Every structure is written in C-alpha cells, then in structure tokens.
Amino acid sequence: MSKPTETERCIESLIAVFQKYSGKDGNSCQLSKTEFLTFMNTELAAFTKNQKDPGVLDRMMKKLDLNSDGQLDFQEFLNLIGGLAVACHDSFLKSTQKRF
Amino acid sequence: MSKPTETERCIESLIAVFQKYSGKDGNSCQLSKTEFLTFMNTELAAFTKNQKDPGVLDRMMKKLDLNSDGQLDFQEFLNLIGGLAVACHDSFLKSTQKRF
C-alpha cells in the first residue's frame, strides 16, 4: 500500500469521525440529537462557543435532518461539513480580495 | 491556538486541496476539466486506475457540473468528495454486515 493522498485521508477521516460520534448510543449508523450536540461541542467547539444564540444548534439539526427522522445519516452529516467548508472558503476568498 | 480537531483539519484539507488544483490554470476559484482530470488522476488514482471505462471521468464531470458551465466550483467539488465518502461508507457497512 502506498501512502494515502490528502483527499483519501480526508475521506477516511470523515467516515471515522462520523462513526466515532454516531456509535455512542442507539443506531450506530445515525447521529442522534445528543450525538450531534456532542460532535459539535467537541469537534467544532471553536464554532459553537462563538454562537451567542443558544438555539442555533437546534435549528442546525432541524435544517440538516432532511428526512425529519430526528437523526442525521452520513449524507446529512456531510452536508454539515460541506456547508462549513463553503463558509470557510468564502470567508477566505473575501479576506484575500480585501487584501489585494 | 489549540490543536485543530480532526474535523477542523479535514475542512482545512478540503479547501487546501481544492485551491491547489483549481489554481493551476484560468479561474483560480474553479476546477476546469483539465484540473479536474489532474486532481482525479493524482489524488484519487486508486479509484481512477480501476475504472475500465475510459468515459467515466467525462461523465462524472458532467454530472458534478450542476450549472453546466464546464467548471466545478467548490460546492460542486464537495459533492464529489461527499459522493465518494458515501460510497466508501456504504461499502464499509456492507463488509461489516457480511462479517457479523
């Protein structure tokens, strides 16, 4: 086996992180609300601790839970990561446009 | 600054990989067809070299290019990563179900 590329490592990480948090209670292929909150407050604490509105995580969970089953499956979880990545990417583009 | 979490590192990686390949020619915020092929054959060579159908990358590009502008923006690129991650995750679930 050759060394994995950065993209392969990233795909592996996304699966590993999802399994780590979704395996904590109930259905191990889904993130429950509690597991989602644990994930957000552990992995994305830099984001959550800056939110002044206490309802923001509730609203995020509702918005991400496309089939409204009260759980996030892997695809719904990826939409969260994608949304955050797009927001980071946009803010990076804005900061470089300001600079030049 | 504390050490980034695995999820934060992953989001950073996705942005860095996209910028690395999209910056090679033309619009640096978009992956052209050539850049997409370079990305696939470099970062995901384990996937591409197992494809017997030479048209598979062409069809992937067309399917990912939601607004049909001949380029992939960051959101369209994330859909590719998400699709691959879901496929890997499903095949992992199937392989564990077979085993137990």
pLDDT at B33 over 90: yes
SS3 A72: strand
> Looking at residue B2, what is its pLDDT?
76
What is the pTM (predicted TM-score) of this model? 0.88
Please report which confidence band the pLDDT of residue B58 belongs to, taking 50, 70 and 90 as the band edges: very high
**CA nearest to A88, candidates A39, A55, A47:** A47
Q: In angstroms, what CA-CA distances link B3 with A28, A44, A50, A77, A85?
A: 28, 12, 17, 23, 18
Question: Minimal Cα–Cα distance from A92 to chain B, Å?
Answer: 10
Give per-residue pLDDT as tens, A9-45.
Answer: 999 999 999 999 999 888 889 999 999 999 999 999 9
The proportion of chain B whose per-residue pLDDT surpasses 90, expressed as a percent, equals 71
Which chain B positions have a beta carbon within 8 Å of A14's beta carbon? 10, 85
SS3 B50: coil
Which chain A positions have a beta carbon within 8 Å of B78's beta carbon? 82, 85-86
Q: Which residues have CB under 8 Å from B36's CB, separation 6+?
A: B21, B57, B61, B72
Distance from C-alpha of B65 to C-alpha of B79, rounded to nearest angstrom = 10
pLDDT at B51 over 90: no
Specify the residue for token string 């939110």.
Answer: A51
**Residue B53 phi, psi dihedral angles, 5° rounding:** -85, 115
The mean pLDDT value of chain A amounts to: 91
